[in-house]
C-alpha cells in the first residue's frame, strides 16, 4: 500500500535571538547583523505513514513533536529534506490555531472549511453536523474570543473531522476537552480508522497510543529515536522521561549490573539495622532486556547489616505507580513469616510468582522496622524501580487472566449448577 505521508530526512532550524531591538532606528542600524544562536528543532527525521494507518508521536516537551506536525501540515517548511502527502489534509494543531478571534464561531467554521478546500455551499451542507458534534449550538454566533479552551477544542475538532479528510493531523490539544468529549473524539477516530483514513497525532498519553495506534514514533531533542510497535515505543518514551539511556542494552554482564533494576544504597551508619543493597531480578535480565513482561515472576533481594544483634524486626514492602499511587503493600508480620535475628550481614527476598501489571514504571519502597512498627530501623522510599512493557493491545494498569468461550445461552449456568 502506498504511503499517505512520506517524511524524507527533514531538519528544521530556528534562529534564537538574544538581542531584541524595538525601535525602527535600531532595526535599521543592525539590519542583517543581529546575533542569533541556531537551534535544530528537528534533525534528519525520516519515516513513512502508510495509507489507512494510525501513527502516534511521543516525546518530552520541546522534543520537536509539534514542529514535525506543522511541517507535515505545510504550516512550516523544513530547512532540509522533503515531505510528501497524498490526499486532503486536515490539521487540529495548538489551541485556537486557524481561528480569527474577532469572528463568530459560525464565521470561523466557514473560514476554516474554505482553508481545507471546501466551498461555501459544501460547508453549508455539513454545517449542522459540525455544530452538533461540537455541542456549541448556543454559542455558535458568539465571537470566539469569548470561548473557553474546551470550546476551542470542540469547534476545531468538529471542523477537522467533518470535512472528510484523507489525512488527519492532531496535536495534543485533545487533553483540554472534558472526558465525555474526549470519548466522543476517540469514537470518531476509530470510525476514521474503519473507513481507512490516515491519522498522525501527537500526544503524551501513552495509553492512548496503545489503544488506537498500529505503531508509534519517539522523538528526543529533535531526533527520531525509535519507530516501532506501540508497546516498545512507549517503553523507550518512558525511559527518556526518566533520563535513561535510549539505546538498547549491550549484551554484556556489565549492562545487567548497570540497569535501573539494581539500586545500590549507601548504608546509614546510625541505623542499628540498615539496608545495604537492593536488587530486582526477573526473567528479562537473562535475555538482555531491562523490562518485564506482564505476569512474569520477580524477586526483590534486600541485603542488610546489623551493627548489633537485633531480635525484634520485620521487613516491609510497598509498590507505587509513577504518580505515587499505592498499589500494594505488606510485611513479614502480615504474611506470618518468622524473621530470624539480624546479626551482621544478611539477605532476605520478596518473591512474586507473577506480577499482574501492564505498561508502566513502578517504584518500590522497602522498610525494616520493629515487629510493632513503633521503631523504624531503615526506610527507603520509592528508591528502587522496575518497568513493565505490555506487548499486546490490552490497556489499563492490571492484567486479569481470563478465557473467552462461546456456547448456547444458559449452557454455562447449567454446567455450574450441575444440571
Q: What is the pLDDT of residues 10-64, one digit of tens each?
A: 999 987 766 665 566 555 555 556 666 788 999 999 999 999 999 999 988 788 8
Residue 298 confidence (pLDDT) above 80: yes
Q: Tell me what the mean pLDDT of segment 337-342 comes to.
A: 94
Q: Tell me what the mean pLDDT of segment 285-292 comes to.
A: 90
The answer to which of 23-32, 173-182, 264-273, 283-292 has the lowest mean pLDDT is: 264-273
The answer to which of 86-100, 105-119, 181-195 has the lowest mean pLDDT is: 86-100
- Residue-level pLDDT at 419: 39
| Kind plus residue range of the DSSP H or E element containing 84 | strand 80-85
- Residue-level pLDDT at 152: 80
Secondary structure (3-state) at 144: helix
412 or 386, higher pLDDT: 386
How far apart (Å, rounded) are the C-alpha atoms in residues 24 and 145?
A: 31
- Cell numbers for 148, please give them: 473557553
| Cα 225 off chain centre by | 15
Residue 252 confidence (pLDDT) above 50: no
Domain 3-241 shares a fold with domain 258-388 = no
Our CA angle for 212, 217, 221, nearest 5°, is 140
- Residue-level pLDDT at 393: 77
Are 63 and 225 spatial neighbours (Cβ–Cβ below 8 Å)?
no
- Residue-level pLDDT at 66: 87
Q: Tell me what the mean pLDDT of segment 351-365 comes to.
A: 92
Residue 231 confidence (pLDDT) above 90: no
Residue 409 confidence (pLDDT) above 70: yes
Residue 356 confidence (pLDDT) above 90: yes
Q: Where are the domains of the chain?
A: 3-241, 258-388
How far apart (Å, rounded) are the C-alpha atoms in residues 110 and 167?
A: 20
Residue 250 confidence (pLDDT) above 80: no
Q: Tell me what the mean pLDDT of segment 151-171 comes to.
A: 84
- Residue-level pLDDT at 357: 93
309 or 153, higher pLDDT: 309
User: How many Cβ atoms sit within 10 Å of the Cβ of residue 167?
Assistant: 21
- Residue-level pLDDT at 248: 37
Beta-bridged to residue 305, according to DSSP, are 274, 345
Alpha helices (runs of H) in 24-163, residue ranges in sequence order? 24-29, 65-73, 105-115, 120-134, 149-162
Q: Which residue has the cell 470561523?
A: 108
CATH of region 3-241, choose from 3.40.50.2300, 3.20.20.100, 3.40.50.300, 3.40.710.10: 3.40.50.300
Which of 147, 144, 154 is closest to 106 using CA atoms? Answer: 144
- Residue-level pLDDT at 18: 60
Reported as a single tens digit per residue, the pLDDT across 76-85 is 899 999 999 9
pTM flag (> 0.85): no
Per-residue pLDDT band at 379 (split at 50, 70, 90): confident
Are 14 and 39 spatial neighbours (Cβ–Cβ below 8 Å)?
yes
Q: Tell me what the mean pLDDT of segment 194-201 comes to.
A: 90
Please provide the average confidence, as pLDDT, over all residues in the chain. Answer: 81
Residue 149 confidence (pLDDT) above 80: no
CATH class of the domain at 258-388: mainly beta
Amino acid at each position: 500500500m502506498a504511503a499517505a505521508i512520506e517524511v524524507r530526512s527533514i531538519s528544521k532550524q530556528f534562529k534564537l535571538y538574544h538581542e531584541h531591538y524595538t525601535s525602527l532606528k535600531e532595526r535599521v542600524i543592525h539590519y542583517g547583523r543581529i546575533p542569533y544562536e541556531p537551534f535544530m528543532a528537528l534533525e534528519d527525521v525520516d519515516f513513512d505513514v502508510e495509507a489507512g494507518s494510525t501513527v502516534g508521536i511521543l516525546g518530552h516537551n520541546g522534543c520537536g513533536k509539534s514542529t514535525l506536525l506543522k511541517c507535515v501540515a505545510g504550516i512550516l517548511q523544513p530547512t532540509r529534506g522533503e515531505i510528501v502527502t497524498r490526499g486532503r489534509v486536515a490539521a487540529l494543531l495548538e489551541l485556537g490555531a486557524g481561528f480569527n478571534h474577532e469572528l463568530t464561531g459560525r464565521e470561523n467554521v466557514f473560514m476554516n472549511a474554505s482553508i481545507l478546500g471546501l466551498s461555501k455551499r459544501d460547508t453549508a451542507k455539513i454545517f449542522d453536523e459540525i455544530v452538533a458534534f461540537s455541542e456549541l449550538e448556543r454559542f455558535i454566533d458568539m465571537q470566539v474570543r469569548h470561548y473557553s479552551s474546551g470550546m476551542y477544542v470542540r469547534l476545531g475538532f468538529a471542523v477537522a473531522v467533518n470535512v472528510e479528510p484523507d489525512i488527519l493531523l492532531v496535536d495534543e490539544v485533545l487533553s483540554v476537552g472534558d472526558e465525555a468529549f474526549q470519548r466522543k473524539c476517540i469514537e470518531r477516530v476509530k470510525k476514521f480508522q474503519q473507513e481507512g483514513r490516515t491519522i498522525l497525532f501527537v500526544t503524551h498519553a501513552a495509553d492512548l497510543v496503545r489503544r488506537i495506534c498500529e505503531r508509534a514514533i519517539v522523538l528526543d531533542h529533535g531526533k527520531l529515536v525509535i519507530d516501532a510497535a506501540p508497546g516498545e515505543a512507549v517503553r523507550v518514551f518512558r525511559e527518556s522521561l526518566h533520563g535513561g539511556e535510549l539505546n538498547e542494552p549491550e549484551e554484556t554482564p556489565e549492562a545487567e549490573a548497570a540497569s535501573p533494576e539494581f539500586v545500590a544504597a549507601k548504608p546509614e551508619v546510625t541505623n542499628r539495622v540498615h539496608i545495604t543493597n537492593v536488587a530486582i531480578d526477573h526473567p528479562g535480565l537473562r535475555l538482555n532486556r531491562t523490562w518485564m513482561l506482564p505476569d512474569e515472576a520477580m524477586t526483590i533481594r534486600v541485603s542488610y547489616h546489623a551493627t548489633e544483634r537485633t531480635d525484634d524486626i520485620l521487613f516491609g514492602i510497598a509498590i507505587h505507580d509513577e504518580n505515587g499511587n499505592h498499589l500494594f503493600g505488606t510485611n513479614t508480620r502480615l504474611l506470618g513469616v518468622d524473621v530470624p535475628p539480624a546479626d551482621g550481614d544478611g539477605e532476605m527476598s520478596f518473591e512474586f510468582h507473577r506480577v499482574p501489571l501492564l505498561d508502566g514504571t513502578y517504584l518500590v519502597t522497602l522498610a525494616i522496622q520493629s515487629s510493632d512498627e513503633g521503631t523504624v530501623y531503615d526506610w527507603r522510599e520509592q528508591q528502587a524501580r522496575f518497568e513493565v512493557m505490555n506487548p499486546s493491545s490490552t490497556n489499563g494498569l492490571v492484567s486479569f487472566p481470563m478465557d473467552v468461550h462461546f456456547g448456547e445461552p444458559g449452557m454455562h449456568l447449567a454446567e455450574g449448577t450441575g444440571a
